[in-house]
Amino acid sequence: MNWDRDKVQHMASLLRRQVNADVNVDHPLTGLNSWKVGGCADLLVRPRCLAAAQQLFALLAAHRWPWIVLGSGTNVLIADAGFPGVVVQLSHLKHIKMLTPGQYHVEGGVSLGELVRVCAERGDSGIEDLAAIPGSVGGAVVMNAGAGEHTFGEVVTGVHAVLNGQPAYFEGAELKFGYRSSAVGPQMCILAIEIQLQTTERDICVSRRKQALEYRKKAQQVFQPSAGSVFRNLPGTCAWKLIDSCALRGCKVGGAQVSPQHANFIVNTGNAAAADVAELIAHVQREVYRKTGVPLETEIRYLN
């Protein structure tokens, strides 16, 4: 949907009057994603509390305005043309509350790394392996973030969301967590979750978290803007091994490059456009399929 400037300004004015939120017009998205690419959002809206978020999504549904949620921007490719609608960020929703020993209520804007740190410091175990995964808690649910032997979906017991503009609650099992996937659909936004961890010794949790951070640092030393692993691993093999076997390490399209340090990372060498990244992803998929017969699927989300 294309809006003229008067329409966008009218929408911004309405949102500022009716929702407790930060509202920005024609906001650049380049600085809000880890690839450092992409255009502008017609509107960028950051609700300041859970109630404001619910109010916002009700309003978006009532007016049928297109919207998308942008978390920490660590697993998304934003188009050079930006997003013609409302981009919602839950960056103000950062509360972590212990309900019972090992049980937490966590708002969707909390970073996964911060949640792991808080829980480890209290001796609550089950997510230490996820310490180095970037992104927000909401995004970790959508993609069922995982590392080592654990995935985030294993500890999620409940999800508070909005679906088609209305408040909704789901038991963890209802989200059908799979490999880097869940049943969270395009008209659903996760506002908060409950998790259940196992209480153990604080020193053990802290040590596991430290080991996870150190392993990630050694295994994935990539020094340019990236979105982490681009392609899903397949049963019995790693995506990076397939890419490497096809001599694609270091391959470039414009300012985008298959990382020389990690073949499942695509990096921005300094002047990449989103179109460069997208073209390089497609090239890697074509070459791997041509040479090995294996179709690579992406882990990233496209925002356009």
Contact 206, 273 (CB under 8 A): no
Report CA-CA distances (Å) from 280 to 14, 45, 289. Answer: 41, 31, 14
Active site residues: 180, 229, 299
Q: Answer for the pair 263, 248: CB distance below 8 angstroms, yes or no.
A: yes
Is residue 163 helix, strand or coil?
strand
3-class DSSP assignment, residue 167:
strand
d(CA 83, CA 67): 9
Output phi, psi for 46, to 5 deg. Answer: -125, 100
Give the distance, in angstroms, between the CA of residue 264 and the centroid of all CA atoms in the same chain. Answer: 17
Nearest to 257, CA basis, from 265, 246, 267: 267
